[in-house]
Chain A
Amino acid sequence: MAKDRLTEVLERYEAVIGLEIHTELTSLNSKMFCGCPVAFGGEPNTRVCPVCLGLPGALPVPNEAAVEATVLAGLSVECAIAPYSQFHRKQYFYPDMPKDYQISQYDLPFCGFGHVDIEVDGDGVAERIDLDAAVSANLLERDSDGYVTRIGVTRIHLEEDTGKMVHVGGSEGRISGADHSLVDFNRAGTPLMELVSEPDIRTPEEARRFAQKLRSIFLALGISDCSMEEGSMRVDGNVSVRPRGQVELGTKSEIKNMNSFKTLHDALAYEIVRQADEIDAGGRIVQETRHYDVGAKRTSALRSKEEAHDYRYFPEPDMVPFEFTPEWIEGIRARLPELPDARRDRFVRDFGLPKGDARTLAADASFADFFEEAVALTGPSLAKPLVNWALGDFSAYLNAEGISLGESRVTSAMLAELVELIGDGTISGKQGKVVFVEMTTSGDAPGAIVALRGMKQVSDSDAIEAAVDRVMAASPAEVANYRAGKTTLIGWFVGQVMREMKGQGNPGLVNEVLARKLDA
C-alpha cells in the first residue's frame, strides 16, 4: 500500500490504537509455577513436569523472580504497584492449555497507571497529520526533527503461556481441515507478562515506536530477549477510526499475528485504510479479531464462532494473594538499571554522539554495553569513530551472519583496537575495512592481522620523503607539468608514491610531503 494512501486517509480520519504486548520472561531460570527451565524450541515435551502438564493433583507455586521482574517492568514505565494483588483463573477449553484454564490476573494486576514517552522522527512524522493543531494533551515536545508523545500504560500483569499446537494434514498448518494435531507443552507455563496500553496511539509509526521503546526498556531490565520472530514478544493491536472532530470512538477490531516491527506498522496502516474505505463506502465496522497475512499484506477476519467468551474469572484458590509492602517495592526499584532514555542522553553528553546514533545504541542494552566496553579502552576521543564502526560494519556483519552479539567473533576489545590502529595512523581507514573482514573470519586480533600481513601504514617521514624523492626523480616531465600549473597531477603523484611504498604510506603524510616538495 502506498504511503500517501495512509496519510490521505489520516487527513480525514483519526486512528485510535491501543496495544497489548505479551513478553515471555525468557531470562528466568524456571517457569511461572514449576521448576522446569525456560527455553526456546527443543525436543517436544521434554521441558515438562506434573505442574506444567496440569496432571491431576499438581499445584502451582508462583515464581517469585517472575513477580519481581513484572514489578520491575512496572516501575520502569512509571506504574503504580498494587499493594494487594492476586492471580485469577481464566477459563476456556483449548488443547494447548493443560488445565483448561490459564492462571492470569484479572481485576487485581501487579502494576497500573504508567506511561512511556516516545520520540517520532524521520518519515513517520508525516503520519501525524494533526501535529500543528496540537489537539492531543499527550504531545509533549516538537521540534524540526519530530515530536515526543506520551502513551499511557493501563496495566501490566503476569500469566502463564500456553503450549504450542502443530496441526498435521490440513492446509497452511491451521486447525481447520487438519487430520490430527500434536501438542508440545515445552512452552506451557512460561512466565508471560502482558502490558496493555491506553488507546493513546494515533499512527502506525507511533505504535511501532512504542513497541520498540518497550523492547529497549525490557532489554535494559534484562527480563526477556524480546524476540518478535521467536514469539518471546508478541504484539496485538486494537484499532478504530473516527472522522476527525468526532469525539465518539469508532468500532474497533483486534489485529493479531504481527511478528515484526515493520509488520506491526504495515498491518495497522492496512487496517486503518480498510476501515476508512469501509465507512466511506457506507458500510459498518464489525468488532472482530483479524489476522494479518504478511505475504498478502492484508488483514482478514478470523472465524469467530464463539466471539462472546465468558471466561468465568475467579480468584485462584491454589495461591494466596500478594501484599507488597512499600519497603519491598523500594527494594525492587533500587534494582532499576539505567534505562534507554537516560543512557541515550549520557551518550550524547559524555561522548558527543549524535542523538540518533545514541538512541540506536541505547535501544539494545547488550549492544550499548558492547560499545561502552570498547570506548572504555579507546577513551572518549575515539567514541565517534567507534560508534560508526559499531553501527556500520559491525552491525552489518552481525545481520549478515544472523548471529547475536554473544556469538560474534569480534569482541569489544578487538573493535576498540581496530579503531585505535586507525586513529593513531598505524593503518588507514581503507586498510581497516580489510582488517575487519579478516577479523570476522579468523577471529584474530587486528594488531596481529596487521603484523602478519605487513599492512602497517608507514608514517615515518624519512621513508615517505625518500619515496617522494624517488618518484619525483623518475618523473621529471610530470614534475615540470605540475609546476607549470597542472596541479591536478597531485593525485597521480600520490598514487605513484603509494605504489612505491606498497600501499602502506600514510595518505595524509604522503600528500603533505608531496605538496611541500612539488611546491618548493
Chain B
Amino acid sequence: MTVSSLSDFSQLSARAIRDGIVSGEFSAAEIASAAYSRIDALEPDIHAFNELTPQLAEEAAARIDAKVAAGELLPPLAGVPAAFKDNMNLVGTHTTCSSRILKNYQSVYDCSAVRRLLDAGALPIGKCNMDEFAFGSSTENSAFGPTRNPWDLDRVPGGSSGGSAAAVAAGMVTVSLGSDTGGSIRQPGALTGTVAMKPTYGRVSRYGIVAFASSLDQIGPFTRSVEDAAMVLNAIAGHDDMDATSVREAVPDFTVGLGDGVKGLRVGVVRDMVDLEGCAPEVRAATESALATLATLGAEVGEIDLPMSQHGLAAYYIIGPAEASSNLARFDGIRYGYRAPDAADVLDLYMRSRAEGFGAESIRRIMLGTHALSSGYYDAYYGTAQKTRTLITREFAAAFERFDVLITPTAPTVAFKIGEKAEDPLSMYLSDVYTIPLNLAGLPGISVPCAKSATTGLPIGVQIIGNHFDESTMLRVASALEAALALDMTPPLTGI
C-alpha cells in the first residue's frame, strides 16, 4: 500500500480500486478502512448514512483479499466500497426507509440488486438516508434528520435518494444504489454533481426494495464516472425469478462502446421542457451548452416538443400515491415495525400505529392515493392518470423514431436551501418535472454533471434519455459528454 494512492481514495474509480487490489497496490481491507476514515471525518456534518456496516465490509474485504492471496480471478467490482439506500433489504442490517414505523426493522432476506452488487465483489459500507419511504426530493422527510449537500451544507442533496448521492459525492463510498420512482436517483445526482442513472423499467429486479410505486420504481447507481455507472449496471441488471416484472431481455456489457463517440447519433433536445417557465436560466444555459458540445462532437442535434409529458407531474401524483397507499398498507403494527402501545382494539391499533409511525408526507401521499382509488373517484383520477400515462408513452415512442437519445435538464434548479421548500409540497413536487415522464414511460435516463453554477458554484446536471432497453446508447452519449467537458466535480467541502 502506498499512502499517496489511498489519500486519493475519495476520487478513485471502481476500476482503479479493482486494478489496485489486483496489482497489490492496496488490499480490500485497506480500502474499507479508508472509506470508514473518510466517513468518520465527514459524516457528522453530512449525515448520509442511517447505519454503517463495518463488520459486513470487513468480512467482504477479507473474502476479496483471500482470493488475491490464492491467486484467484477477482470479480468485476472487487473491493469497491458501496452504500445502499435504506429501503433495500440486506441481512445483518436494519431497513428503515427512514421511517419511525420501521425504525427497528431488521432484514431477513437480501434485495436482489444488493446481493448481485455484493456478489460482484463490492464492499457493503452502510445504508443511506432518504426521504421517508422515498416520498420527497430533498431528503428532509427523513425521520432521522436531513442529509446535507457536500457542496454546501446549508443545502439539500436532493432526494429521495439524497444519502446515496451525498455519500458518493463526498467520496465516502465509490458507488451507491438508489431507487427512482419519479426522479429520486437523477435529481439528487444533478444536485450533488454525480452520475446517476435510472435503468429501463424491468431491467433491474425490484425484489427486496421496499416498494413505493411498483409500476414506477427502479433501482440504479450513483457513481463519479459514467464507466463506473456502466459497471454497476452490468452487475445488477438481468432477469430475476423473484420479480415478475423483471424482463428476460438480453443484458449487454454496458462498458462496451462507451468510447465510441456520438458522431452521427441523432440527439433530440426536448425544446418545450428546456423552455419551461420554472427552469432557472443557468440550468437552461448549461443544457444548451451541453447540446452545443454534443454537436461539436458530431452528433446530429435536432429539436422536439413533448406536450403530453407536461401532464406527467399530474398523472404521477395520482398513480404514485395510489400504488403507495396500497404498498404501505402492510405497515399496520401487527407483524413488525412500530406498534402504538395500549390500543383499545384492532382498529385503534391500526389507526394509532400508522398515525404515530408515519411522517407527514407519507400520510399526505397515503391519503391522496386512497382518495384517488375510492369508489366514485377511481375513473376520474386513476383512470385518467393511466390514460395520460399511455399517451406519454406513445409520445416518447414517436420521438424515438426520430432520435437515438433525448436531452432535457435533470432538475429545474440547483440544490436549494434546507427548509426552503419544506413547507411547500407543490414547489417541491416541481423538482421532478423533468424526470417523472421517464418513469411513467418506463424509459432509462441518466443525469451527468454538465456545468457548475457561475454564481453559487453548485453542480448542474443534464438528463440523457434512452429508448427502452437501450441504456448502451444513452451511456455512450453520457460518456462522450463527460470526456469533452472534463469537469472537476470534487465538492469543496468547505466548513467541515
The answer to whether A56 touches B243 (Cβ under 8 A) is no
Residue of A nearest to B89 (CB): A57
The answer to whether A318 touches B370 (Cβ under 8 A) is no
By a CB distance below 8 angstroms, the chain A residues around B111 are: 57
The answer to whether A93 touches B350 (Cβ under 8 A) is yes
By a CB distance below 8 angstroms, the chain B residues around A61 are: 241-244
The answer to whether B330 touches A60 (Cβ under 8 A) is no
Encoded as 1 (CB less than 8 Å from any A CB) or 0, chain B from 304 to 328 comes to 0000000000000000001100100
Question: Does A430 have its Cβ within 8 Å of any Cβ on chain B?
Answer: no
The answer to whether B242 touches A59 (Cβ under 8 A) is yes
Known contacts A55-B108, A55-B109, A317-B213, A100 near B207 by CB under 8 Å: no
Please measure, in the bound complex, the distance between the C-alpha atom of A8 and the C-alpha atom of B88, giving whole angstroms.
66
Question: Does A423 have its Cβ within 8 Å of any Cβ on chain B?
Answer: no
The answer to whether B330 touches A95 (Cβ under 8 A) is no
The answer to whether B373 touches A312 (Cβ under 8 A) is yes
By a CB distance below 8 angstroms, the chain B residues around A95 are: 332, 334, 346
By a CB distance below 8 angstroms, the chain B residues around A93 are: 329, 332, 350
Q: For residues 235 through 257 of chain B, which have their beta carbon under 8 Å from a beta carbon of chain A?
A: 241-245
CB distance from A94 to the nearest CB of B (A): 8
Please measure, in the bound complex, the distance between the C-alpha atom of A50 and the C-alpha atom of B109, giving whole angstroms.
8
User: What does DSSP make chain B's interface, helix, strand, loop or mixed?
Assistant: loop
Encoded as 1 (CB less than 8 Å from any A CB) or 0, chain B from 326 to 344 comes to 1001111011100000000
By a CB distance below 8 angstroms, the chain A residues around B326 are: 89, 91, 101, 312, 314
By a CB distance below 8 angstroms, the chain A residues around B207 are: 57-59
Question: Does A310 have its Cβ within 8 Å of any Cβ on chain B?
Answer: yes
Please measure, in the bound complex, the distance between the C-alpha atom of A239 and the C-alpha atom of B108, giving whole angstroms.
47
Question: Does A166 have its Cβ within 8 Å of any Cβ on chain B?
Answer: no
Q: For residues 3 through 54 of chain A, which have their beta carbon under 8 Å from a beta carbon of chain B?
A: 50, 53-54
Encoded as 1 (CB less than 8 Å from any B CB) or 0, chain A from 348 to 383 comes to 000000000000000000000000000000000000
Task: Pick from A58, A175, A312, A319: contact of B244, CB below 8 A.
Answer: A319
Interface residues on B, range: 35 or more
By a CB distance below 8 angstroms, the chain B residues around A91 are: 326, 329, 373
Task: Pick from A56, A175, A313, A317: contact of B330, CB below 8 A.
Answer: A56
Question: Does B206 have its Cβ within 8 Å of any Cβ on chain A?
Answer: yes
By a CB distance below 8 angstroms, the chain A residues around B375 are: 310, 312
The answer to whether B215 touches A317 (Cβ under 8 A) is yes
The answer to whether B374 touches A310 (Cβ under 8 A) is yes
The answer to whether B329 touches A62 (Cβ under 8 A) is no
CB distance from B315 to the nearest CB of A (A): 14
Please measure, in the bound complex, the distance between the C-alpha atom of A182 and the C-alpha atom of B87, giving whole angstroms.
29
By a CB distance below 8 angstroms, the chain B residues around A314 are: 322-323, 326, 373, 378, 382
CB distance from A411 to the nearest CB of B (A): 42
Known contacts A59-B243, A61-B241, A98 near B373 by CB under 8 Å: no
Encoded as 1 (CB less than 8 Å from any A CB) or 0, chain B from 375 to 394 comes to 10010001000000000000
CB distance from A49 to the nearest CB of B (A): 8
Residue of A nearest to B323 (CB): A317
Question: Does B429 have its Cβ within 8 Å of any Cβ on chain A?
Answer: no
Please measure, in the bound complex, the distance between the C-alpha atom of A91 and the C-alpha atom of B208, giving whole angstroms.
22
Q: For residues 74 through 106 of chain B, which have their beta carbon under 8 Å from a beta carbon of chain A?
A: 87-89, 95, 97, 102, 105
Known contacts A314-B322, A314-B382, A317-B213, A57 near B208 by CB under 8 Å: yes
Encoded as 1 (CB less than 8 Å from any B CB) or 0, chain A from 79 to 112 comes to 0000000000101010100111100000000000
The answer to whether B374 touches A312 (Cβ under 8 A) is yes
The answer to whether A57 touches B213 (Cβ under 8 A) is no
By a CB distance below 8 angstroms, the chain A residues around B95 are: 56-57
Encoded as 1 (CB less than 8 Å from any B CB) or 0, chain A from 167 to 206 comes to 0000000010000000100000000000000000000000
The answer to whether B108 touches A57 (Cβ under 8 A) is no
The answer to whether A318 touches B108 (Cβ under 8 A) is no
Residue of B nearest to A33 (CB): B244
Question: Does B211 have its Cβ within 8 Å of any Cβ on chain A?
Answer: yes
Question: Does B214 have its Cβ within 8 Å of any Cβ on chain A?
Answer: yes
Please measure, in the bound complex, the distance between the C-alpha atom of A99 and the C-alpha atom of B323, giving whole angstroms.
13
Please measure, in the bound complex, the distance between the C-alpha atom of A93 and the C-alpha atom of B335, giving whole angstroms.
13
The answer to whether A56 touches B210 (Cβ under 8 A) is yes
CB distance from B63 to the nearest CB of A (A): 25
The answer to whether A56 touches B102 (Cβ under 8 A) is yes
The answer to whether A98 touches B329 (Cβ under 8 A) is no
Question: Does A320 have its Cβ within 8 Å of any Cβ on chain B?
Answer: yes
- The 27 sampled A-B contact pairs (Cβ below 8 Å) are A53-B335, A54-B335, A55-B109, A56-B95, A56-B97, A56-B105, A56-B210, A57-B95, A58-B207, A58-B208, A60-B244, A61-B243, A62-B244, A91-B329, A99-B329, A99-B330, A100-B332, A312-B378, A313-B373, A314-B322, A314-B323, A314-B326, A314-B373, A314-B378, A317-B214, A318-B214, A319-B245
Top 8 closest pairs, chain A to chain B, by CB: A100-B329, A317-B214, A317-B215, A312-B373, A56-B210, A57-B208, A310-B375, A61-B244
A binding-site residues for B, Cβ under 8 Å: 50, 53-62, 89, 91, 93, 95, 98-101, 175, 183, 310, 312-314, 317-320
B binding-site residues for A, Cβ under 8 Å: 87-89, 95, 97, 102, 105, 108-109, 111, 206-211, 213-215, 241-245, 322-323, 326, 329-332, 334-336, 346, 350, 370, 373-375, 378, 382
